[in-house]
Amino acid sequence: MFKLLKRPFLEHSHEVKSPDGRISCKIELKFGKVTYSIKKDNKVVLRDSRLGFKLKGAEPLMDGLMIVRVQESSFDETWERQWGEEKYVRNNYNEVALYLSEMGGDKRLFTVRFRVFDDGVAFRYEFPPQPSFTSLVIADELTEFNVDSNAKAWKIPAYQPDRYEYNYERWPVDALVQSVHTPLTIETPLGDVISIHEAALYNYGSVTLKLNERRVLQTDITPLSDGMRAYVDLPFNTPWRVVMIADSAIGLTQNRMIYSLNPAPRTDIDFSFVEPLKFMGIWWAMFVGEWTWARGDRHGATTEHATEYIDACKRLGIKGLLVEGWNNGWDGDWLQNGSDSDFLHPTEDYDLPNIAHYAKQLGVELIGHNETVGFIDNYEAQLEKAYQYYTSLGIHYIKTGYAGSMMVTGGNREFHHSQIGVRHYQKTVELAAKYGIMLDIHEPIKGTGIERTWPNLLTREGARGQEYEGGALSPSHACILPFTRLLAGGMDYTSGIFDVTNEAKKLRSTLARQLAYYVTIYSGMQMAADRPRFYEEVRPDAYKFIRDVPVSFEKSVPLLGEIGVYYVVARQGRDEANWYIGGVTNEEAHKVRLSLEFLEDGEYIAEIYRDGDDANYRNNQLSIAIESRKVTRNDFLEIWMAPGGGFAVRLVKQ
């Protein structure tokens, strides 16, 4: 419904309800200012929250506003994911766009568009082209999220040297005086669980949040080195500001708003080359000190090692092989020397053309590696040539890395999650699409659902992963990720380390838990991160699960969970009748009783990989029980998870 108002509204209150009527969002114009508030089941989720901007060289955009036009609409479509946790996603919302104009001055125009879904609210600012207002320098975005100050937030700090790679902590919202990253998952005093995030982040600084002068959570858009948050030309739409809302933490894990808020892929780009996969790597051997990235006696990326690993991939049924340290630039302190990284020339002991040829003969995908250390000018200067070179060799997957604490560009140091960082990552994704390349981005910009539009972005890191084992990861971390980081999309957690007891990097995990991750931590590229001998010689029985588990799913059914305590999810393999269940617990043991009613009628063989009765992550990590039994949808599975443990189940339809 479209209303061009005869006389503009100077005061107005507009309510939009979710299709199921449970969530309502009220947008109000009072005294020239616009605010919004959200309720669920008539209980407050967000109190009156302000909207607006401070601009450089222009008056703030937040006062003296009137509404000149109101447009209401509804939308309901089910769209298909090329790969992911499920095949179909329903995108169903009621929308209102309020067209605003300043009453005085330059009478600048902008629109706030709200979409109310059954599981949350999203809104964005839209700036149409207009004669006296052609560009914007955002000095500050003043969007508030007025959450109850007694609510508890699961936060990681922003603007830190290790980017998003921090342990989550549960803090009262009232204590968030320093900026934190999104998704920011919050448990409200009324029992709801919400997560504040953003969708479709393009050409803008990413949202971090902190309390403002009114002690209300407000966007603190990541600044550029000159202090400004973004430079944009009109027309321009900001990313969507998203508030996911659920009755429970486990319900939140099903939220797919960020994808639905991104457009479908462009029809002029053929993404049929995109294929998720499992891969091994010349990788963990470097973390445990067997091999090195740098050249020398223990260089990992040699022709000999690569050939051995390609053979192992073939035998183990693993599609891809990552090789790190293959190029010039790793000798000495590579974190300091990143400006010299060379993405076009292999080291002399690594015969790339022949290795690529051999991999191709065996049907193994060689995965390239580009560690930029954040020196993005150096990378961008080589980018197109490098991608051309890789495709000429038949390499279609690249893992990129930005391990520096800041990005270095134009003589400035910029945050990875600033507008400049966002633009850089986007450039790599678009160029990769042009060359038929799929990406796994480490030290990435957080996920905002752009994989819907760019499905060649198969996964990213963007949180502490297993490389932090050996001291910096507690078992609770993997029980927090599904409710926080993973709301922003898949993660390359580098699962499947079987050498859990290695003193050089001892994991706080049981062996069975390593299998659980393939289900609990979704990723479009799933690593079997250990060395092949651990799969072939040490535990081939446990490896069977890694061989069997798919990387794309038909359906996902979150079963049980509490943030930081435990998490269990079931997923049906894409285009197959079999199901997979994964469960993880924190440092405490946990017994779960799972109803199998999500299965279809008929019999299934449950292949169960669980912690042995005496297992624990401290001193009995390798105790695992592998057993199978017949089940139907009327059965329950009772499974005990050891402290720091977990389980994986494959349900094979008979």
Shortest CB 418 distance to ligand NOJ, Å:
20
Q: Is 403 in the site for ligand NOJ (CB under 6 A)?
A: yes
**Strand ranges for 298-442 from DSSP E:** 320-323, 365-371, 397-401, 407-409, 412-414, 438-441
371 CB burial (10 A radius; 0-12, 13-18, 19+): buried
Cβ nearer to ligand NOJ, comparing 401 with 645? 401
Shortest CB 371 distance to ligand NOJ, Å:
4
d(CA 174, CA 210): 10
Q: Which member of 102, 141, 144, 324 binds ligand NOJ (CB under 6 A)?
A: 324
Instruction: Spell out the residues 6+ positions from residue 650 whose beta carbon is closer than 8 angstroms to its own.
Output: 545, 548, 549, 578, 579, 580, 606, 607
Binding to ligand NOJ (CB under 6 A) within 260-299 occurs at none
Cβ nearer to ligand NOJ, comparing 371 with 554? 371
Cβ nearer to ligand NOJ, comparing 327 with 585? 327
d(CA 494, CA 464): 11
Shortest CB 496 distance to ligand NOJ, Å:
14
Shortest CB 301 distance to ligand NOJ, Å:
12
CB of 137 closer than 8 Å to CB of 56? yes
Q: Is 464 in the site for ligand NOJ (CB under 6 A)?
A: no
Closest alpha carbon to 370 in 345, 350, 392:
345
d(CA 58, CA 60): 6
Q: Is 371 in the site for ligand NOJ (CB under 6 A)?
A: yes
Q: Is 530 in the site for ligand NOJ (CB under 6 A)?
A: no
64 CB burial (10 A radius; 0-12, 13-18, 19+): middle
Q: Is 440 in the site for ligand NOJ (CB under 6 A)?
A: no
Any idea which residues carry the catalytic annotation?
Answer: 467
Q: Is 368 in the site for ligand NOJ (CB under 6 A)?
A: no
Q: Is 220 in the site for ligand NOJ (CB under 6 A)?
A: no
d(CA 107, CA 75): 31
Cis ω on the peptide bond leading into residue 183 (within 30° of 0)? yes
Cβ nearer to ligand NOJ, comparing 365 with 461? 461
Q: Is 565 in the site for ligand NOJ (CB under 6 A)?
A: no
Q: 587 by DSSP, 3-state: which?
A: coil
Q: Which member of 84, 374, 401, 490 binds ligand NOJ (CB under 6 A)?
A: 401
Shortest CB 325 distance to ligand NOJ, Å:
8
Q: Kindly determine how many residues on this chain lie close enough to bind ligand NOJ according to the rule CB under 6 A.
A: 7
Cβ nearer to ligand NOJ, comparing 123 with 518? 518
Shortest CB 184 distance to ligand NOJ, Å:
23
Exposure string of 218-242, with b = 16+ CB inside 10 Å and e = fewer, is bbbbbbbbeebbbbbebebbbbbbb
Structure tokens at 172: 């009262």
CB of 123 closer than 8 Å to CB of 137? no
Q: Is 416 in the site for ligand NOJ (CB under 6 A)?
A: no
Cβ nearer to ligand NOJ, comparing 87 with 399? 399
Interface residues with ligand NOJ (CB under 6 A) are 324, 371, 401, 403, 442, 461, 467
